[in-house]
Amino acid sequence: MRLIRTAELTEPTTSAYRLRRRADDGAITRLYPGVYLDGSPGTAADTLPEIEHVAKIAAVEPKLTRAVISGPSAAILHGLPITRKRLTGKVRVNRASGGPGSDWLEVRRAPLDPDEIASLYGIRVTSLDRTIRDLCSELPFDELLAIADAALHLGATLVPGPAGSRGVRVLARLREHASLRSESWLESMSRASMIEAGLPMPLEQIEVLDEHGDLCGRSDFGWPEFAALGEADGRSKYDELLAAGETAVDAVHAEKMRENRMRMLGWQFLRWGAESAGSAKRMSRLFARLTEPGASIPAPAGHYRLAAVRPYQPLDWSTLLGRPRQPDGPAVDPAG
């Protein structure tokens, strides 16, 4: 995964022609005049939208004058879990003087205080808190909660701007509900739907132990008052559970065995996917199924405790951009 700039090639004219041919054939992606993304060994169609968007930021950034990367573009540069449908073909920038956009840029006009501008990978970008404040005026609550959960791990304060500024009420709501205990985008979306539906909020990351104190399993959510456990399942979850030499089938089987051990202690268990996680109505129906029997059954055997939360690892674009992010905290390279 690398950026190619024709101006940096030894034979710009000949090489530029070849690059255009490769782009026309779908082997590489044209990001900006004279700038391409080579996603070998795959093709341009295989490139993840997140990677392509960050590459576009790097492509247009040298041409920007007194502009700051903002909005969804700033969010992905910070490593926040912005949904792919928000990463349009254009890079969002904030320019105090405004100005026209282009085929490559979407320009917004808004004043920025000095402390609302940060530098990531040597690129001027809205600060973490300013980025979230900007997104409050355009994204739904469930997506915002997932972003806010992740942002807390990166040092966001979620403090609203001055009275009368955009997103004050939304940001106050995020600050009330954002959690450092959320471990995935799907868990955050699930909690957002629970909040919208007015459901009892669960404990997050709960471990279940038997009568002897032996660990039986771990669940995303727990409602001890209903003897109920809930799990938000995404496809990537089982990849994360894989041990050395283990297949996805092995991981699913092991997870089912852990679930059975918890059921034997008297816990109810329910799983849901992205479709239910994003719907307050579906979550209400699932919760009714989960809790109704729990009101009439005895408390489960053994006991429970809160588990340690896995460290959050923001996406790191150092390899793609050829520049360090900044010297603070762990990161994971999405390009592999």
pLDDT at position 294: 53
Q: Is residue 35 pLDDT above 90, yes or no?
A: no
Share of the chain above pLDDT 70, in %: 84
Output the CA–CA distances (angstroms, integers) from residue 51 to 70, 194, 227, in the order listed. 17, 32, 43
Displacement of CA 161 from its chain's centroid (Å): 23
Name all domains of the chain by residue range, CATH numbers in brackets.
48-180+314-321 (3.30.460), 185-306 (3.40.960)
Q: Is residue 333 pLDDT above 50, yes or no?
A: no
- Residues 89-117, mean pLDDT to the nearest whole number: 87
Which pLDDT tens digit goes with each residue over 39-93?
Answer: 665 554 456 889 889 988 988 888 888 899 999 999 999 999 999 999 978 999 9
SS3 218: strand
Q: What tokens does 177 get?
A: 């509900």
Q: What tokens does 145 get?
A: 């909660």
Which pLDDT tens digit goes with each residue over 117-170?
Answer: 999 999 999 999 999 999 999 999 999 999 999 999 999 999 877 766 777 899
Whole-prediction pTM: 0.85
End-to-end CA distance of the chain, in Å? Answer: 9
Q: Which of 113, 149, 117 is nearest to 131 (CA)?
A: 117
